[in-house]
């Protein structure tokens, strides 16, 4: 079954976020990951704590989990944390 990682984020350092985004994109293909959507959000109901959302699709829950915990991804987390406040959610 397809799995999604939903990222809610608010940028805090544009340069670090740009670096992180490029590095993160490079880590996806080994796990079959692909971006489905990314950009600013409009809350249709309720309040949102974050300004931006990213949706990444993977072939399975295992692929998504393996990507997040991979050495390649874990290595760039300090850059991620410098560039944005975020939450990551795995669905499916």
Identify the domain containing residue 13 by its residue range: 3-43+54-91
Say if 21 falls within a structural domain: yes
Give me the number of domains the chain comprises. Answer: 1
Q: What is the mean pLDDT of the chain?
A: 97
**pTM of the shown model:** 0.93
Say if 49 falls within a structural domain: no
Summarize pLDDT for 8-52 with one digit per residue, the tens. Answer: 999 999 999 999 999 999 999 999 999 999 999 999 999 999 999
Nearest to 52 by CA among 16, 10, 18, 20: 10
Say if 48 falls within a structural domain: no
CATH number for the domain harbouring residue 86 = 3.30.70.100
Pairwise CA distance, residues 38 & 43, whole Å:
15
Say if 34 falls within a structural domain: yes
Say if 28 falls within a structural domain: yes
Mean pLDDT, rounded, for 50-75 = 98
Contact 70, 58 (CB under 8 A): no
């Amino acid at each position: 079954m397809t799995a999604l990682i939903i990222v809610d984020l608010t940028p805090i350092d544009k340069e670090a976020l740009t670096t992180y985004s490029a590095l993160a994109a490079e880590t996806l293909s080994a796990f079959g990951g692909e971006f489905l959507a990314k950009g600013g959000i409009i809350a249709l109901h309720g309040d949102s704590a974050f300004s931006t959302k990213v949706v990444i699709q993977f072939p399975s829950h295992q692929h998504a989990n393996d990507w997040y915990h991979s050495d390649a991804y874990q290595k760039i987390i300090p850059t991620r944390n410098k560039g944005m406040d975020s939450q990551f959610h795995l669905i499916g």
